[in-house]
Structure formats: C-alpha cells, structure tokens
Amino acid sequence: MAIAKYDHKEIDQKWRKAWDEAGVYKTTEDADKEKFYILDMFPYPSGAGLHVGHPKGYIATDIISRYKKMKGFNVLHPMGWDAFGLPAEQHALKNKVHPSINTNKNIARYKEQLEKISLNYDWDREISTTDPEFYKWTQWAFIQMFKKGLVFESNEPINWCPSCKTGLANEDLEDGKCERCDSEIEQKPIRQWVIKITDYADRLLADIDKLDWQDSIKESQRNWIGRSEGAEIDFAVKGSDDKIKVFTTRPDTLFGATYMVLAPEHKLVQKWLDGLENKSEVEKYIKDASKKSHIERGDMTKEKTGVELKGIKAINPALNKSGEANDDELPIYIADYVMADYGTGAIMAVPAHDERDFEFAKKFGIEIKDVISGRKNKDEAFIGLGKLINSGKFDGMDSEEAKRAITEFVGGKMTTSYKLRDWVFARQRYWGEPIPLIHCGKCGVVPVPDDELPVKLPEVESYEPTGTGESPLAGIDDWVNVKCPECGGDAKRETNTMPQWAGSSWYYLRYIDPHNNKALVDKEKEAYWSPVDFYVGGAEHATRHLIYARFWHKFLYDIGVVKYDEPFTKLQTVGLIMAEDGRKMSKRWGNVINPDDIIDEYGADTFRTYEMFMGPFDQAVSWSTKGLTGPKRFLDKIWKMQEGLLDESPKEVQAQLHKTIKKVSEDIENMKYNTAISEMMILVNLAEKEGISKSDFENLLKILSPFAPHMTQEIWSNMGHDSFLLNETWPEYDESLLKQDTVTIAVQVNGKVRGELEVAIDATKEQVEEQVMSMSSVDKWVKNAGKTPGEGTVKQFIYVTGRVANIVVQ
Ligand code: ANZ
Ligand code: ZN
C-alpha cells in the first residue's frame, strides 16, 4: 500500500487537538524531577499580528523545552502578554475603542497565530500585565519599595515627549529622541515618582560576572551602569564664596587644569548671569544648548563649542596651595560637551591629557600644560597614566598614587560616579498600572493598604492625554477623591500611571504561581522553579528590560520574596529575520510575511524546521519563501521512509544515526539548530539509499520530533504506537558506534607534513578544507611557504579521502 501524501492541514489539526485534550503541555509541580524553566520575552500584542520573524525565538525555546521534557526534566515554558503602555493606548485612541477591548482582541489574534505553530505553552499559566489580578502585585511590589524608602517624588526637569505628552526615562530614548514617535525630547519639570535604582548600581554591576550571558549584552549593561571612580574637588571662585565642585577621574592631573567648564544648565551660571560682561552671548549659548540632544552633545566627533563667562575666574587649588598664587587663575567656560546630569555638572579641564579638553583648548587658545610625562605627539592629548611632571612636590609620583595624594592635598574626596540614572517611574497617561499612593493633606503620601489592592484603572470617557503634565485619571473625581487610609480624612489618589517596563520587570515570577491571590508567588514554588534557566529574546532589551528586571528581582530578594538574587541564569538573543529584500519586515515597506499563510501552504513542521535551518540562530538572516522547499523535501523524504523499513540498518546508517543523536542533542543545548538539521539531512539521505531499520527510524523520529512534532507524531502513530512522542524518552547514542566514525589525516603544506587532523570518515572535501584552514598551527606554514615569506596565498586544496590533505601555496 502506497503511503498517501502528507496532508498537513488535516494532520496538524488532528494532533493539535489530541495534545490539547490530553493536556500534554500542562506543567505540574514535581519535586522529584529536576526542573528546567525556559522563558521567552513575552510580546507586546500589537494590532498588526505576528510576522514570520516574531516566532523564531519561540520555536527555538519550544524545541529546547520538548527536548528537555524527553530528557526527563520537569519543564516550565509559559507565555503571556506585555500589554500596557503607549503603543496599546495610541492604537486604541486611533481606532476609538477602549484600550482593553483592543488589547484583548490583539491578544486573541496573537494566541491563535502561536497555536498554529504548536508551541507547547501551558496556557493555564498565561498572564497579562493588564490583568488586575496580575498588576495587583506590580502595585504591591511598588508599595514595598515605597516603604523601604526607594521611591521619591521629584519636580526635577525630566525627559518630556511633546507628542506622546508624557515624561520618559532615559531608557525610553533613542539617540536623544522619543523611542516611540521619534520626536525631539524636551527637558520639562513635572511632578513625578522616581525609583532609586542607583542604590542598586554596585550590585547590578558586580553580579553581571555571575551570569551566563553573551559578552556583548554584559558589556552593554556595564556601560549603561557606567561606574567611574574618581574624586570630587572644590575650586574657589575669585573674590566670592562660591565654590565649583568638579568630578574627575584624573585628580592626578590637577596641576595641568588650565580652565574650567560648567554645563550650560549649571545652577551657578544662572546665579552669575547678571554680573557677566557678556551676558547676552552666554544666554544665547544656553538656549541653543537646550535644543541639542544628549547624544549630539556627547558626540566626540563634533566640533567643540563654548563661551567664556567673562568677569569671573576660578582658582586652581593645587597651584594655589603650592604657593604659585600668581598662576592659579583659571578662565571659566560653559560648553555643551559637559552634561548637567553627570558627576557634578562641572569639570576641571586638562587639555594635555583629555581629548575633548585638548580640542577645546586648541580652538580657544587656552594653555596646554603637560603634567604626566609621555606626550610625544603634540597634536593630540596623552591620555595614559604615568609619572607626574610640573606638579610641584608630586613630581615623579605615579598617577595611581598621585590620585589619592593630590585629592587629599587639596581637601577633596574620592567618590564613585554612575551613568545610571534613577528610574523615572511615572507616566501621565491612561493605559498603565495606577500608582497606588494617596495624597493626604495631613499625613502626606500614604500607600494604599495591601487589602485594597489592586487599585483598578477606572473607566473613563476620555483617555486622551491632557498634555498638562497631569494624567487623564486626574479628571475622574469619584475615583480621585478617597479617604486617607491613615487618618480617614479627605485625600486624593495619585493619578500618574506606571511605565510600560513595570510589569515586565517581574512577570516571569508570576508564571510560577499565576493564580495565587495571597502572595506574588508562593515561596516553595519559587524556590523550586527559580531562577529562569534559559531566557531568549531580542537584543534590543540588553539594557532596559534586563536592567529593570534585575533590579526588581534584587529588591524582591532583599525583602525575602525570592530565593536567588539574579532572575535569569542564561540568556540568548535572537537574530532578526529580515524581509526578502534585506530590509526589516515592516508594514511601511510592504514586505511583511504572515506565518499563517506559510503554515497554510507548507504546514507548521516545514515552517518550524525552515526557521531553524535558515542560519546561525543569533544572526540576522533574510527570509526566502523559496528556501522553504529544502526543509519541505527533507520532511517529505522521512514521510515516505515509513514504508519498507528493514530489520536491521546497514552499519554505515547505524553509525550515522548515533552520530546524529549526539550532534542533535548537543546542538539543541547550544542553540545550533541549523547544524542539527543538516546532520539529520545527512542521515536521511544515507538512509534513503541504504535503508534503515524500524527501531533506528523510530529514534530518528524522536530526535526530529521537537522540530517537526506533527508529522513525526503521525508516523509514530502509523507505526502502531499509541503514546505521544513528547512523552517518550530521548534516545541515547552509543559511543562505541561513533568511534569508527572519524579518521586521522595528515595535513601538508606544499607536500610537507605540518600537522594532523581528525575528520569524519564521510566528510566532504569542503568540510575538511574548512577544518584545515581554521587550524592555527597550519597558518604560519601557509604564510611562509610561498615565494615571498609572510605573503603566501593558497592556490589549491587537495584532499585524498581519509588520508591526506595538501594545501598548495604560492
Ligand atoms: C579632569 C580630567 C583630566 C579628566 C584628564 C579626564 C582626563 P568617565 O570616565 O566617563 O566617568 N567629566 C566629568 N563630569 C562630566 C560631565 N558632567 N560632562 C562631561 N564630562 C565630564 O569620565 C569622567 C571624566 O569626564 C572626568 O575626569 C571629567 O574629565 C569628565 F586628563 O577630569 B576628567
Ligand atoms: Zn491622612
């Protein structure tokens, strides 16, 4: 009987239903089993639905989670929705429906799309940050922070987006512009709530070393935190009691400070303004600077600008104390390369040893005085450490030692500065968690009592932003007016809402215990499941989400809610899937491909296998609908293979099977899906020619099942099994069968043996060439074997199968 064609529409559906009915994806607590918690960064459900790029990471985690289940682990693999925030609100505004209606619609659509791919999520654990039962605990955690003194109210100028009409955190900006709408950001003083994340800066930095994350992400976090050790030193102002406090990482260069710079926003500038000889020039400069973004101002390549504050001078304390009072006067400038919100907002400028100061001094004709020996090139600053010169009694001292000694000499103090800013945690918008605080005339700010949580978002008629710095909630009197929980007097609710990053800072904990109404998470369950063993998501979250979540987690650790002080042990970022034209997939370019269409035509298994086969997981690759045919053909071959199975596999096939089991197991653990699939392809091509036994074929089905769960299950069932493959045990490979599989070959350069290499017996010439060329020991021979030593180029590569490789160099 000939096997019918694989009818993916019917068969995919059939198994999806069967799995669902049997509840195969339900996660249960099973303390006897080793746990494995694998997590996707949960999506924000946009109106556009998923395109084929979105599920790449989800398919990958799905494969790992199936693999781990078959390996006997108790696996937690949940999914939910990050559904608060500006985009949801803007979309709702545009479409004139309440954000919650729209959000629920989008969630339903996303879920339907995800289910078609058969991702094995336990939907009983689904969460949404917008669900009051969820955000109750976001509010609860915030209140705990408030009680610990980590939250404060501020009226400082903050980033304000005039178009989104809300304050934003530094993390919400991209190149100094609003990340959402690309508007120029203004600095506007509005009342807001701020979380002192900087209290955690040192721990956030130190604990990066514990994490099994990509180095690039770890480095981004270090830079974002930006810890600098240095000193604060006061400079007197001539003929005045004012002092200019500077932050410097190089107090050892103090004798070389030849001018000072204040940020244009510095308070002293306003104080002095009326007495300046060039007041109007200074005012104009301040105004121009306020229009520039942070990024523009920090750009090293831009020509430096500035204006001297004419009529006042500072005193270099080191020269003054060394008795060089004649030379100790320094001109004071304002320049936009000095930022108001870093260090003290003022610097001592040392042109000989700082690049920016050097450029500035050249332009303005300011003295450049060497105080560290070693500057050879007079056209640039010497920024290294070294021995001091021109520094009075400190001459000859090493920089490191001099930093302390000079700071002490002038009465300064060693300090640490951070780039990390406190977290502006209030938004003047509707669609977010209400901040659970009450303002009472008598008692001040009082948190909402635990038993009154959640503070639910009230229904409003108009949820458009007011633009006045107040949230639309401020207009709902019967919601705003409450009794003070402490004194019972008339009081008002806080009307700001939380930023989008709030719920995502701890959502992964709620999956562990999603229906608990007594606690954020049950302690015992948390101890079992935490931390997340493997976290997969977009690299764009390297600093924002991953900083906030680490902070929030550490706070929960401090108050005893969680048992470990880091949330995500291992992290892997997903390379984007670009459109066929090489651009980002976007409605704007009209190049979006919907996974539903692909699945309709090719089936979920081909779609899944193709996405994993496209290239290395962490790299960007372009979509190619044509490319689907490769994986499709591969799966078709396996489909046909269920007929005519042998009693025993030929030796070669057996060896390849075991090699494949080993490779696929290792590759899944290391997220090298593309090479896992290639190896299975090699096996299938061989088995197609030589035949394969029933039991070996069954093992192939098992290792393929995480990639192509539907088809493998159908064949499994055709073969008479009534179990689910997901509940089967992952096959072990037989080491002894692997052994005969490789051979040692000689590696020659121009006919002389220069090394040995172990290669697979069946390795192709191309594979061997690749291996040989990456041998560092062969490298130098290649370079020097040609006519001109050091310049050898490879002319030819010869491979005598299983014996020798020869590189011909000219
Ligand atoms: C004098 C000096 C001499 C400096 C020298 C450097 C080299 P990081 O490493 O980023 O912390 N600085 C301090 N506050 C600043 C601000 N608000 N805006 C712009 N620049 C500021 O950099 C610290 C150094 O950057 C400080 O050390 C200061 O310049 C400058 F040979 O002080 B230094
Ligand atoms: Zn009160």
Query: Would you mind telling me the total number of residues written for the chain in this entry?
Result: 810
pLDDT band of residue 156 (cuts 50, 70, 90) is: confident
Q: How far is CA 317 from CA 250, 322, 391, in A?
A: 15, 8, 12
HSE of 669 in the Cβ direction (CA atoms, 13 Å)?
6
Q: Is the pLDDT of residue 1 over 70?
A: no
For the record, the structure tokens of 542 come out as 């390297």
Rounded CA separation 710/728 (Å) = 15
Beta bridge partners of 423: 195
| Phi and psi angles of residue 711, each rounded to the nearest 5 degrees, phi first | -65, -45
Q: Is the pLDDT of residue 298 over 80?
A: no
Q: Which residue has the CA at smallest separation from atom 22 of ligand 1?
A: 249
Rounded CA separation 696/718 (Å) = 16
pLDDT band of residue 492 (cuts 50, 70, 90) is: very high
pLDDT at 2 (0 to 100) = 65
Ligand closest to Cα of 385 equals: 1
Which residues surround ligand 1 with Cβ inside 6 Å?
228, 247-250, 253, 263, 338-339, 342-343, 345, 347-348, 350, 353-354, 417
- CA of 259 relative to ligand 1 center, distance in Å: 13
Q: Is the pLDDT of residue 810 over 90?
A: no
**110-141 pLDDT tens trace:** 999 999 999 989 999 999 999 999 999 999 99
**363-385 pLDDT tens trace:** 999 999 999 998 888 899 999 99
Question: Over the range 673-711, which residues count as b (16 or more CB within 10 Å of their CB) and which as e?
Answer: bbebbbbbbbbbebbeeebbbeebbbbbbbbbbbbbbbb
Share of the chain above pLDDT 70, in %: 99
Rounded CA separation 741/759 (Å) = 9
**271-281 pLDDT tens trace:** 999 999 999 99
Q: Who contacts 125 (Cβ-Cβ below 8 Å, separation ≥6)?
A: 27, 76, 78, 80, 511, 514
pLDDT at 627 (0 to 100) = 94
E strand segments, 68-118: 74-76, 80-81
Beta bridge partners of 120: none
**For ligand 1, what atom is nearest to the CA of residue 228?**
11
Higher-pLDDT residue of 791, 637: 637
pTM for this one? 0.84
Q: Is the pLDDT of residue 12 over 80?
A: yes
Question: Of 314-328, 543-557, 729-743, 758-772, which has the strongest mean pLDDT?
Answer: 543-557
**639-689 pLDDT tens trace:** 999 999 999 999 889 999 999 999 999 999 999 999 999 999 999 999 999
**Beta-strand relationship, 534-537 and 35-40:** parallel
For the record, the structure tokens of 576 come out as 């984007």
Q: Which residue has the CA at smallest separation from atom 33 of ligand 1?
A: 248
Rounded CA separation 735/740 (Å) = 10
Ligand closest to Cα of 334 equals: 1
**For ligand 1, what atom is nearest to the CA of residue 340?**
17
E strand segments, 90-135: 127-128
Mean pLDDT over residues 501-521, rounded? 97
pLDDT at 739 (0 to 100) = 57
pLDDT at 740 (0 to 100) = 58
pLDDT at 102 (0 to 100) = 87
Q: Is the pLDDT of residue 175 over 70?
A: yes
CA proximity to 696, closest of 649, 660, 642, 641: 649
Rounded CA separation 514/522 (Å) = 10
Cα torsion 177, 181, 186, 191: sign: negative
Rounded CA separation 215/219 (Å) = 6
Ligand closest to Cα of 304 equals: 1
Mean pLDDT over residues 687-697, rounded? 96
Q: Is the pLDDT of residue 97 over 60?
A: yes
Beta bridge partners of 388: 372
For the record, the structure tokens of 127 come out as 């969460």
pLDDT band of residue 24 (cuts 50, 70, 90) is: very high
pLDDT band of residue 212 (cuts 50, 70, 90) is: very high
Q: What is the spatial order of strands in the sheet that 481-483 belongs to?
A: 444-447, 437-440, 490-493, 481-483
Pocket test for ligand 1, best of 250, 337, 417 (most atoms within 8 A of CB): 250
Of 220-224, 413-417, 453-457, 783-787, minimum mean pLDDT range: 783-787
pLDDT at 276 (0 to 100) = 96
pLDDT band of residue 693 (cuts 50, 70, 90) is: very high
Beta bridge partners of 483: 490
**For ligand 1, what atom is nearest to the CA of residue 353?**
31
**214-266 pLDDT tens trace:** 999 999 999 999 999 999 999 999 999 999 999 999 999 999 999 999 999 99
- CA of 210 relative to ligand 1 center, distance in Å: 30
Q: Is the pLDDT of residue 571 over 60?
A: yes
Mean pLDDT over residues 53-81, rounded? 97
* Average per-residue pLDDT for the chain: 92
Share of the chain above pLDDT 90, in %: 75
CA proximity to 447, closest of 480, 478, 488, 493: 493
pLDDT at 413 (0 to 100) = 97
Would you give the distance in Å from CA 226 to the centre of its chain? 16
- CA of 345 relative to ligand 1 center, distance in Å: 10
Of 48-52, 141-145, 208-212, 282-286, minimum mean pLDDT range: 48-52
